[in-house]
A and B are shown apart, each in its own frame.
Chain A
């Protein structure tokens, strides 16, 4: 592959300062370091460095998302086939390949629009701000389509990611300085701007005939809300666990999310503290509500193992809450941050009449509060230091 390297080296000077195309340097840098390791040397200070960099970190998150993405392809197609043909009951009744192809028909356009709109905005901001294109975009652009309902019009997807990237990230100064998770900001914008397309019973199952209309099919969460724990009678926990239920593209399968969690925790890229505390916060709040329930058929009586497998709880706690930039950044703060996300999710799901799903709101809310949590952890640390110095 020497010729390619030689060609790149030959044109490199055009993109450096004072070159013909120096404005396009961020694009050049992104391409060059995508194809080859940068080969940069340490100048002083530590003369040797750790083998990990941001590119590898972000690629690891993308790898962790692959199980969810693959499952999204299948389940989206499967739900569509199930809605069309009443004889289909379980995943064994369909041809997996055609289900996956059906899902790809939904996923790919959403993903391509996200990449195109988001990528263009990232590049524009990188060029204006004269910084490198950050690999974090790889993660944002894959997370975003996975949290959308399959029937979402493409122009709304484009608008959502644009909002997420510009107002969720770039106005704060770009990657590393954003307060909110950009993918979630995009989703939350769509949720409040186009509620009819983001919630209700008819958006979760796509239809092959029309982009605009989906089949009616309530998610388990919506049924909990309307029917309380009585709905558990004809719902299958295992279907919810494996993810053969309607929902946002990538969020439905708990095993796929857990595989992702295993990759994130093993590689030390994602924070196990946040994931575990989210789970504990959710379980504790659910148990409390179970104890307070006025009658056994009330929503308050839904047990925690159902809260775990429905909606986007697992996906949100594993991939969204752990965003290192928008989460709490002290180790003690992470426990508080995660536990409150778990608690708030259940609070919104069960007690708030307007929103069937709570994890998205809980994470965004705690993103906003993470700096406050950190502030107090930092203050305790400062106080401790002052005491030792006798100030």
Chain B
């Protein structure tokens, strides 16, 4: 099929991209964790308690809404702490690593002969199933569902992200095995969505359809791919999975061993040395911030600057996320500048031309400044300018803001999750919390649905 061109969008011109693609070994942090807080709407049932010995693959907790899917330990060692937040919500199950990465032995058959029911069972039991997420709602795929299509995301347009093609380099066999096995889970098509800059010809398995997407962000988001090839709806459930997770599943199916390692990109304007690191799943953020000699207060984000989760080193949530292959580091140091509104230059980038800095430089050192204060919605067209979907952003955002779930659903809210609207929130001159509004609305629809 021809390349799908995404015309409207924005590649945020932020400093701190990885330029040297040599992968270095990461410093080994003493702790790893799995974070229930990452799972949308989870009702956590803990399966371990502090002090228990665990191995890679030991079930740590499950979601009461779908008890077949187990969330298993990324590391071997001893449960050190179970952190809780507001209303005793479980934030993180922290493991004190023993460094052996010893595994629970699992037997697997070759994926081509695998019958889908057994495959589902294996994936659910080993915790590999949690790599699959569904639309609508962005929760983990339900073990009993059969999706209308499966989307393997082989491209990433989020700010400073490294292409998944780089991250799965030399894992062709594992990727093909994983993709073929996953394709058996759906009656519909299995798409491999890629960018024309990467050559995926070695990764294509029979039954997998490749579709290329080019253009600015959000051309590399699964939400955009699903919108073009799907779309998702209440009666049309779509699944997504990252290319790295596909290779991990394939590796497990081929060798019977789960990989515990993962390559991540350390990026961001406050990263002293943007680089690729080979680390461990669920690793404490120390591995990435060890070498940051920043004098400023920094924020460590697991994921991209647009849709990542704050994961500051040493906090209960300071661990690499389940689905993340990127860490972004940004300065927390904000300044109060005098009468800044008077000056046409402010050292900041804007999509509009109300600041002229962008005509004089191409990259900006962003910080965590909101760059304004929250105001009522004044739709000057910034959202439309960067909106890549056939969705009316102003009208959808207003329905989200006013809690009109019926209209929001009609306008396409079910196709979206936070990462798809993060760029709208980035560009919003009124600094409206659009991602939060969307999640509230989705939870409401799910509850009443």
The residues of A with any CB-CB pair to B shorter than 8 Å are 1, 4-5, 29, 33-42, 44-57, 59-60, 131-132, 134-136, 174-177, 266-269, 271, 324-325, 329-331, 374, 377-378, 381-382, 384-385, 388-391
Bound together, the chains give a CA A3 to CA B193 distance in angstroms of 56
Sorted nearest first, the 10 A-B pairs with minimum C-beta distance are: A53-B372, A51-B348, A176-B376, A51-B350, A48-B366, A45-B435, A36-B336, A52-B350, A40-B370, A39-B336
Report B-chain residues with C-beta under 8 Å of the C-beta of A5.
Answer: 336, 338
A-B contact pairs, 22 of them (CB 8 A): A1-B338, A35-B339, A37-B337, A37-B341, A37-B369, A39-B334, A39-B369, A41-B370, A44-B309, A44-B310, A49-B431, A51-B348, A57-B354, A131-B376, A176-B376, A268-B354, A268-B380, A324-B379, A329-B394, A378-B395, A385-B410, A390-B236
Bound together, the chains give a CA A38 to CA B384 distance in angstroms of 27
A46-B435, A53-B430, A268-B351 known; 19 new pairs, CB 8 Å cut-off, are A34-B339, A38-B370, A48-B14, A49-B426, A50-B349, A50-B382, A52-B351, A52-B354, A54-B378, A132-B373, A267-B352, A268-B353, A268-B385, A271-B381, A324-B378, A330-B392, A330-B394, A381-B392, A382-B410
Closest to A175 in B: B376
Are the C-beta atoms of B305 and A46 separated by less than 8 Å?
yes
Are the C-beta atoms of A384 and B390 separated by less than 8 Å?
yes
Per DSSP, chain A at the interface is loop
A-B contact count (CB 8 A): 216
The residues of B with any CB-CB pair to A shorter than 8 Å are 12, 14, 159, 231, 233, 235-236, 299, 301, 305-310, 328, 330, 332, 334-342, 346, 348-355, 357, 366-382, 384-385, 390-392, 394-395, 410-412, 418, 422-423, 425-431, 433-436
Are the C-beta atoms of A46 and B339 separated by less than 8 Å?
no
Are the C-beta atoms of B373 and A38 separated by less than 8 Å?
yes
Closest to B372 in A: A53
- B434 to chain A minimum Cβ distance, whole angstroms, is 8
Bound together, the chains give a CA A55 to CA B342 distance in angstroms of 10
Are the C-beta atoms of B425 and A46 separated by less than 8 Å?
yes
- A370 to chain B minimum Cβ distance, whole angstroms, is 12
Report A-chain residues with C-beta under 8 Å of the C-beta of B334.
Answer: 39-41
Query: Which residue from A40, A41, A56, A134 sits with its C-beta under 8 Å from B376?
Result: A134
- A2 to chain B minimum Cβ distance, whole angstroms, is 10
- B123 to chain A minimum Cβ distance, whole angstroms, is 28
Bound together, the chains give a CA A62 to CA B336 distance in angstroms of 23
Report A-chain residues with C-beta under 8 Å of the C-beta of B328.
Answer: 47
Are the C-beta atoms of B390 and A385 separated by less than 8 Å?
yes
Are the C-beta atoms of B337 and A385 separated by less than 8 Å?
no
Point out which of B367, B375, B382, B394 has the most chain A C-beta atoms below 10 A from its C-beta. Answer: B375
Query: Which residue from B233, B341, B392, B428 sits with its C-beta under 8 Å from A389?
Result: B233
Are the C-beta atoms of B370 and A52 separated by less than 8 Å?
no
Report B-chain residues with C-beta under 8 Å of the C-beta of A377.
Answer: 392
Are the C-beta atoms of B410 and A52 separated by less than 8 Å?
no
Bound together, the chains give a CA A51 to CA B350 distance in angstroms of 5
Bound together, the chains give a CA A217 to CA B411 distance in angstroms of 54
Bound together, the chains give a CA A390 to CA B233 distance in angstroms of 10
Bound together, the chains give a CA A46 to CA B375 distance in angstroms of 17
Bound together, the chains give a CA A391 to CA B378 distance in angstroms of 33
Query: Which residue from A4, A45, A55, A132 sits with its C-beta under 8 Å from B307?
Result: A45
Bound together, the chains give a CA A29 to CA B372 distance in angstroms of 12
Are the C-beta atoms of A176 and B378 separated by less than 8 Å?
yes
Closest to B381 in A: A271
- B134 to chain A minimum Cβ distance, whole angstroms, is 16
Contacts A37-B337, A267-B353 given; does A53 touch B376 at CB 8 Å:
no
- B219 to chain A minimum Cβ distance, whole angstroms, is 18
- B432 to chain A minimum Cβ distance, whole angstroms, is 10
Bound together, the chains give a CA A36 to CA B354 distance in angstroms of 18
Report A-chain residues with C-beta under 8 Å of the C-beta of B330.
Answer: 47-48
Bound together, the chains give a CA A175 to CA B353 distance in angstroms of 23
- A121 to chain B minimum Cβ distance, whole angstroms, is 16
Bound together, the chains give a CA A49 to CA B350 distance in angstroms of 9
Are the C-beta atoms of A50 and B428 separated by less than 8 Å?
yes
Are the C-beta atoms of B410 and A54 separated by less than 8 Å?
no
Contacts A269-B354, A374-B395, A381-B390 given; does A49 touch B371 at CB 8 Å:
yes
Query: Which residue from B346, B384, B434 sits with its C-beta under 8 Å from A51?
Result: B346
Report B-chain residues with C-beta under 8 Å of the C-beta of A56.
Answer: 341, 354-355, 372, 429
Closest to A38 in B: B373
Are the C-beta atoms of B395 and A50 separated by less than 8 Å?
no
Query: Which residue from B306, B373, B380 sits with its C-beta under 8 Å from A40?
Result: B373
Are the C-beta atoms of A40 and B341 separated by less than 8 Å?
no
Contacts A36-B336, A45-B418, A46-B306 given; does A57 touch B429 at CB 8 Å:
yes
Query: Which residue from A46, A266, A385 sits with its C-beta under 8 Å from B231?
Result: A385
Bound together, the chains give a CA A174 to CA B410 distance in angstroms of 27
Are the C-beta atoms of B392 and A378 separated by less than 8 Å?
yes
Bound together, the chains give a CA A56 to CA B379 distance in angstroms of 14
Report B-chain residues with C-beta under 8 Å of the C-beta of A378.
Answer: 392, 395, 411
Bound together, the chains give a CA A53 to CA B394 distance in angstroms of 16
Are the C-beta atoms of A50 and B427 separated by less than 8 Å?
yes
Bound together, the chains give a CA A81 to CA B301 distance in angstroms of 67
Are the C-beta atoms of A177 and B351 separated by less than 8 Å?
no
Bound together, the chains give a CA A385 to CA B411 distance in angstroms of 8
Report A-chain residues with C-beta under 8 Å of the C-beta of B354.
Answer: 51-52, 56-57, 60, 267-269
Bound together, the chains give a CA A56 to CA B328 distance in angstroms of 28
Bound together, the chains give a CA A388 to CA B430 distance in angstroms of 33
Closest to A133 in B: B375
Are the C-beta atoms of A47 and B368 separated by less than 8 Å?
yes
Closest to A33 in B: B373
- B252 to chain A minimum Cβ distance, whole angstroms, is 33
Report B-chain residues with C-beta under 8 Å of the C-beta of A329.
Answer: 379, 394-395
